[in-house]
Amino acid sequence: MQLIRTISDLRAALKIERSRGKSIGFVPTMGYLHIGHLTLVKNSQQHCDVSVVSIFVNPTQFAPNEDLAQYPRDLPRDLKLLEEQGCDYVFAPDVNEMYPDGSGKTSIYVDAGELSSILMGALRPHHFRGVATVVSKLFNIVQPDKAFFGEKDYQQLAVIKRMVTDLNQPVDVIGVPTVREPDGLACSSRNSLLSAEDRAAAVILPQAMQLAQVLVDQGERSVASLRQAVVNKLQQEPRGEIEAVDIRDAETLAETAEQLTAPAVLLLTVRFGKTRLIDQHVLRF
């Protein structure tokens, strides 16, 4: 496994791989890796000849009042996990490499349009602009054949797919099902920021999603009723502060009709202390 710090060195290494006819798989991350990330790497290894993982905590997707400085980082640990997984290249640039003026900002952004202003985008303005911008930069640097993203960040995946389509980027974006802890909580780097009490309380998220699916299996199709049932379930856990409960079209993230007629995605945003957790479940019937 090679650790590469600069854009020029990574481009040179991957140019050699392509000259040998190798396909390139890419997993962009912000580090502090867990089994969910490693599952993305495994998918890359199954689909491509060479796998590249980036580790970069991107400042343009954090607002001034958000937790950029507190975001967990442990590069030696991440490198050990990736080496054990058999990853080929790790791209771990510093901020100055990705944003050369050193400010952690850029004068040109990729605007994700309406998809970036709804749901999580309404709670975190400009977040998806920063995500789309850094992923576009990384796609330009790596030039992968395929890129792998977790479905837990459902809206992010939709934004990246739209970006690739609208900008004619030659990348096949592949969503990988959410990896969960034994108690059902989605794997996330942010879980490490939870206190023991909040970590125990956070299991209410998968429980609420499971309840919604049970109701759909029993024939419930009213969006309002399903949403209220989820809210009621989440409110049973006083440590959780509900920020959003949304039911949207699973393909477009558009608002659904009053009655479900096609699969819809249930999107949860709940804060435990200072840590915001998100999760999703596609309601199928």
Return binding residues.
30-37, 61, 150-153, 156, 179, 187-190
Angstrom distance (rounded) from CA 195 to CA 167: 42
Binding residues for (R)-pantoate: 61, 156
Burial of 170 (0-12, 13-18, 19+ CB in 10 A): exposed
Binding residues for beta-alanine: 61
Q: Tell me the backbone φ, ψ of residue 226, rounded to 5 degrees.
A: -65, -45
Angstrom distance (rounded) from CA 140 to CA 143: 5
Angstrom distance (rounded) from CA 265 to CA 118: 14
Binding residues for ATP: 30-37, 150-153, 179, 187-190
Eight-class DSSP state of 31: S
Query: Where in the sequence numbering do the catalytic residues fall?
Result: 37
In this structure, are residues 260 and 221 in contact, taking their beta carbons and an 8 Å threshold? yes
Angstrom distance (rounded) from CA 220 to CA 203: 24
